[in-house]
Amino acid sequence: MAGLVVERVLHHLSTLPDQPIGRYASRATLEGMLREPPPEQGQSLDAVLARFDAQIAPNACHVSHPRFLAFVPGAPTLASVLGDWLCAGHNFFAGVWLESSACAQVELVVLDWFRDMLGMPASTGGILTSGGSEANLTALVVARDRLPFADRGRFVLYASRERHSSIDRAANVVGLSPAQVRLVEIDAAHRLDVADLRRRIATDRAAGLLPWLLVGNAGTTSTGAVDPLGDLADLCRDEGIWLHLDGAYGWAAVLDPEGRRTLAGVERADSITLDPHKWLAQPFEIGCLLVRDGSLLPATFAIRPDYLLDTAPEIDQVNFADHSIALTRRFRALKVWLSMQVLGLTWFRQNVTRCLALARYAEGALVRAGFEILSPASLSVVCFRAAYAGADAAVDRANLDLAEAVRRSQEAFIASTRIGGRVALRLCFVNWQTTVADVDRVVGLMRRLADEMKSDALARE
């Protein structure tokens, strides 16, 4: 029985570059196909898989496809998928040492790998999470836990205008009012403007508020910009502010010598979010939070109710359930550990270096094809647009239409963002299967579609 699923997955992974990327269907269509009460009696897996093949798989996109270049994609290797399968099949309970000591040990090892890649000190501890959003939230909870209850209404969080939305969500969840969040200006390269930050901190102190936490970007989602991390670390040290870095997308660039230089200062964070399910080729879901003073994690989260008395760890044991909000948690470290053992770190280094080069190559190919670059390759993101003659709104609309036309082709998948208020199209390279030929194909496709749409866009002006 299992063979049916294994065969499907192996076939899927080995043919992925030649498959259409996929599409979405209307809610009405999917309701018609899939709405039903749970069947009272079971049926053969064959029959159920036939429905998976006909109704589910074709109506979803393959974000691991080498020409899926929107958002921040994810593209696991077979080794990491196998690690995930082993994890699900064994159903280890990776919450407490008593039940899964070796799983906790592997998680400790994997966290230390990440710590060492970033160059953080031995005091660093961490937790593997569902993703970057949970890691960012966990960081804010840990940092907030240090604050006296009486003053919590006066603490202020700073983040650049380019922060990821999970920061806003986390700020809300930890109970900050909008008046306690400052959005700092950015410079021409979309990096946090340190002078504006200094001004805002001084203004807040003068008003009797308590500057508390700064979120720096180690690779923004929109443009791949890296904030001046060393300057931010200096300022946070001088001002006594907690420095949290969001490296969910960009952190893996430390595996490349040039990327490491771009991320100089990352090792000085009080806490940092990383997403192995982005650029470390792991299947969803695996994020990670590292905290410079690792003892703060259990200090924030550990609770020992009566029914868990037996699970109290010895001094040198770690209950990862004490490091964040989840008690029951899967053995996420296994897929990283297994794929690192099978492929070796060099494979991951080369993938990062290749993706950085692909972004630079894409920038050149876009210029040659007549696209306007709005943000040059930064880490592995490049932003651009088709330059139509016409009013701003019409050009914005035409570029949104272009992205939609690319998606409809199912040959490639791209999406938009805004840069300086204008619609920009965006390519993000993290996929180990994406090649130069894929870049040429996507750029060629966009050029052809943009030319076809040109007359349309102008006609609607």
Which residues would be at the binding site for ligand PLP (CB under 6 A)? 72, 131-133, 164, 166, 221, 246, 248-249, 275, 287
From 139, 145, 134, select the one nearest 159 (Cα to Cα).
Answer: 139
CA 323 to chain centre: 21
Q: What is the closest distance, in whole angstroms, from the C-beta atom of residue 336 to ligand PLP in the complex?
A: 15
Instruction: Name the residue nearer to ligand PLP (CB basis): 133 or 271.
Output: 133
Q: What is the closest distance, in whole angstroms, from the C-beta atom of residue 265 to ligand PLP in the complex?
A: 17
CA atoms 184, 188, 191, 197: torsion sign: negative
Which residues have a Cβ under 8 Å from the Cβ of 315 and sit 6 or more positions away?
none
Contact status, residue 253 vs residue 87, Cβ threshold 8 Å: no
Instruction: Name the residue nearer to ligand PLP (CB basis): 204 or 275.
Output: 275
Instruction: Name the residue nearer to ligand PLP (CB basis): 280 or 443.
Output: 280
Strand arrangement, sheet containing 271-274: 125-129, 287-291, 271-274, 242-247, 210-217, 155-160, 181-184
Phi, psi of 183 (to 5 degrees): -100, 110
Locate tokens 């001004």: which residue?
199
The bridge status of strand 287-291 relative to strand 125-129 is antiparallel
CA distances from 328 to 99, 115, 170 (A): 11, 24, 21
Q: What is the closest distance, in whole angstroms, from the C-beta atom of residue 430 to ligand PLP in the complex?
A: 10
Q: What is the closest distance, in whole angstroms, from the C-beta atom of residue 36 to ligand PLP in the complex?
A: 31
Q: What is the closest distance, in whole angstroms, from the C-beta atom of residue 132 to ligand PLP in the complex?
A: 3
Instruction: Name the residue nearer to ligand PLP (CB basis): 74 or 313.
Output: 74
Q: What is the closest distance, in whole angstroms, from the C-beta atom of residue 159 to ligand PLP in the complex?
A: 11
Instruction: Name the residue nearer to ligand PLP (CB basis): 212 or 249.
Output: 249
Instruction: Name the residue nearer to ligand PLP (CB basis): 73 or 313.
Output: 73
How many C-beta atoms lie closer than 10 Å to residue 145's C-beta?
13
